[in-house]
């Protein structure tokens, strides 16, 4: 079985080669991302494996279908880069719903601690033998209110971590977790009460730019924003204006809306063409990491194992896979996906 593996990075190969060899799979590792110009590289493959910055739009899906590709296997939980409705009836789409929620939640807290206690600034100073403490004053987390938007697995683990610091947690979710002991509040109240706001929800048409100028205007002066989910949740221009106006005290960003041509690449010898990102990075109270929250040995191993099993499920179980994305065909009473049957 041949699988075209797009947007390959060195850390991807070991785990996928290991699990692929166990199942007699041949991964065609490609450094380029999937888009309309590179889709032809999947010729002769039964499946493609894609990541968050690959473009899987209608045109790409149609060409993959013409090439005989049966499965699009996302090695991520999010799928906002895939037109799953257009794929219905043509190609099955599977994802990795949970590969290491602890990794992402821990990274969110690591960024928050680094920002609040100025650890990154102290590190740079002491390397130059500057041991001054001026400008490094932080604050304690104990007793502060953290607002968590999205209470899936990652959000709930982040909540547990915050409670360990003695923080008061409030949350917003369109679908509250029953019997979770979480204090759910309306989104406007979360904005108004929170000292820290952390985003752990998917990017959809409803959540795109949920953090915008209006939302920032409702927040406390000095609020800290943390985003380890998807860049499009935050209007970056509104964020920058909020920082300049001293409304936002700090921002910890592992994702960025226009990251596709920037993150995961070494651009240290180039001029960054994204002026907005350049200005954000230049701010002394902004920390940016390049979508690395997931990057742990445990997560990479889980991603590879689940992705390989997802592909095998299609070819060995008559097209049935527990991790296939629901296409919302509209037939609620006769949903084949809910009956654990092949969708089409």
- What residues contact 232, with CB distance under 8 A and at least 6 apart? 80, 203, 208, 209, 257
CA-CA distance, 263 to 107, in Å (whole number)?
A: 17
Please report the pLDDT score of residue 209 as a whole number. Answer: 98
Q: Is 128 exposed, middle or buried (0-12, 13-18, 19+ CB in 10 A)?
A: exposed
Active site residue 291: yes
Residue 343 exposure: Cα atoms within 13 Å on the Cβ side? 26
**Residue 75 and residue 133 in one domain:** no
pLDDT of 146 higher than 70: yes
Assigned domain for 344 exists: no
pLDDT for res 13: 97
The reply to whether 212 and 237 lie within a common domain is: yes
pLDDT of 337 reads: 59
Give 34's DSSP letter: P
pLDDT above 90 as % of the chain: 88
Identify the residue whose tokens are 């590179």: 38
Report the alpha-carbon distance of residue 307 to residue 302 in Å, rounded. Answer: 8
C-alpha–C-alpha distance, residues 143 and 139, integer Å: 11
pLDDT of residue 52: 92
Dist CA 137 CA 146 (whole Å): 20
Dist CA 98 CA 261 (whole Å): 26
Give the residue-averaged pLDDT of 63-91. 95
pLDDT (0 to 100) of residue 98: 87
pLDDT of residue 319: 65
Q: Is 316 a catalytic site residue? A: no
| pLDDT band, very low/low/confident/very high, at 320 (cuts 50, 70, 90) | confident
pLDDT of residue 336: 61
Domain co-membership, 256 together with 115:
yes
Domain that holds residue 258: 101-288
Return mean pLDDT, the chain: 94
In a domain, 329, yes or no: yes
Query: Quick check: is 44 in a domain?
Result: yes
Is 74 inside any structural domain? yes
Strands (E), 82-154: 92-94, 145-149
pLDDT for residue 326: 77
186 in the same domain as 56: no
Q: Is residue 233 part of a domain?
A: yes
- pLDDT tens digits, 213-263: 999 999 999 999 999 999 999 999 999 999 999 999 999 999 999 998 899
Q: Is there a single domain that holds both residue 266 and residue 313?
A: no
Q: Give the confidence band of 314 by pLDDT, cuts at 50, 70, 90.
A: confident
Q: Which of 33, 75, 230, 337 is catalytic?
A: 230
User: What is the average per-residue pLDDT within 96-104?
Assistant: 93
Same structural domain, 18 and 136:
no
Better pLDDT: 342 or 101:
101
> Within this chain, do residues 165 and 207 fall inside the same structural domain, yes or no?
yes
Is residue 118 domain-shared with residue 180, that is, in the same domain?
yes
Give the pTM.
0.90
In a domain, 301, yes or no: yes
* Catalytically annotated residue among 106, 257, 259, 324: 259
Query: Helices in 34-118 by DSSP H: which ranges?
Result: 58-66, 84-87, 101-116
User: Taking a C-beta distance cutoff of 8 angstroms, is the pair 61, 87 a contact?
Assistant: yes
DSSP 8-state symbol, 49: E
Task: With a cut of 70, say whether residue 200 has pLDDT above it.
Answer: yes
Could you tell me if 255 and 107 lie in one domain?
Answer: yes
Is 259 an annotated catalytic residue? Answer: yes
Q: Enter the tokens of residue 255.
A: 């994702």
Q: Give the chain's domain count.
A: 2
Max intra-chain CA distance, the chain? 68
Which CA distances in Å does 113 have to 118, 120, 137, 140, 287?
Answer: 8, 10, 12, 10, 11
Phi first, then psi: give them for residue 285, nearest 5 degrees.
Answer: -110, 25
Instruction: Please check whether residue 340 lies inside any domain of the structure.
Output: no
SS3 247: coil
pLDDT in tens, 157-170: 999 999 999 999 99
Q: How many CB atoms lie within 10 A of CB 182?
A: 19
CB 73 within 8 A of CB 50: yes
Question: Which residue in 208, 161, 170, 168 sits closest to 188, CA to CA?
Answer: 170
Decide the pairing of beta strands 47-50 and 2-5: parallel
Active-site residue, selected from the candidate residues 33, 200, 291, 337: 291
Cα dihedral 208/202/299/337 (nearest 10):
-140
Instruction: Establish if 342 belongs to a structural domain.
Output: no
Reading phi first (left if > 0) and then psi (alpha if -120 to 50, else beta), residue 23 is in: alpha
Residue 290: burial class (beta carbons within 10 Å; 0-12, 13-18, 19+)? middle
- Are residue 249 and residue 316 in the same domain, yes or no? no
- List all residues 6 or more positions away from 34 whose beta carbon is below 8 Å from its beta carbon: 6, 7, 42, 48, 50, 54, 55, 56, 60
Secondary structure (3-state) at 77: coil
Same domain, 107 and 40: no
Confidence of residue 338 (pLDDT cuts 50, 70, 90): low
What are 265's two structure tokens? 């690449």
pLDDT at residue 149, as a whole number: 98
Identify the CATH number of the domain in which residue 187 sits.
3.40.50.720
Mean pLDDT of 34-52: 97
CA distance between the termini of the chain = 22
């Amino acid at each position: 079985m041949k699988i075209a593996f797009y947007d390959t990075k060195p850390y991807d190969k070991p785990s996928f080669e290991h699990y692929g060899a166990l199942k007699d799979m041949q991964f065609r590792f490609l450094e380029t991302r999937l888009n309309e110009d590179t889709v032809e590289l999947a010729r002769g493959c039964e499946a493609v494996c894609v990541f968050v910055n690959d473009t899987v739009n209608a045109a790409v899906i149609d060409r993959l279908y013409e090439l005989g590709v049966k499965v699009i296997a996302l090695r991520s939980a999010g799928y906002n880069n895939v037109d799953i409705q257009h794929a219905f009836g043509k190609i099955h789409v599977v994802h990795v719903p949970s590969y290491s929620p602890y990794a992402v939640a821990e990274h969110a807290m690591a960024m928050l601690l680094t920002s609040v206690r100025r650890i990154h600034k102290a590190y740079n100073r002491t390397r130059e033998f500057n041991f001054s403490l001026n400008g490094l004053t932080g604050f304690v987390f104990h007793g502060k209110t953290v607002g968590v938007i999205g209470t899936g697995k990652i959000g709930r683990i982040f909540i547990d971590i915050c409670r360990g610091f003695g923080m008061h947690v409030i949350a917003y979710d369109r679908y509250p977790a029953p019997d979770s002991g979480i204090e759910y509040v309306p989104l406007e109240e979360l904005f108004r009460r929170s000292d820290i706001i952390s985003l752990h929800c998917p990017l959809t048409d409803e959540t795109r730019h949920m953090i915008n100028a209006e939302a920032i205007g409702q927040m406390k002066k000095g609020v800290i924003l943390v985003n380890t989910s998807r860049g499009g949740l935050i209007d970056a221009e509104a964020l920058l204006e909020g920082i300049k106006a001293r409304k936002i005290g700090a921002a910890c960003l592992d994702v960025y809306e226009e990251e596709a041509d920037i993150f995961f690449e070494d651009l240290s010898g180039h001029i960054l063409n994204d002026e907005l990102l350049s200005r954000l990075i230049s701010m002394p109270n902004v920390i940016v990491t390049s979508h690395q929250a997931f990057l742990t040995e445990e997560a990479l191993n889980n991603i590879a194992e689940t992705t390989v099993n997802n592909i095998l499920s299609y070819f060995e179980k008559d097209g049935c896979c527990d991790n296939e994305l629901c296409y919302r065909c509209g037939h609620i009473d006769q949903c084949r996906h809910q009956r654990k049957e092949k969708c089409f």
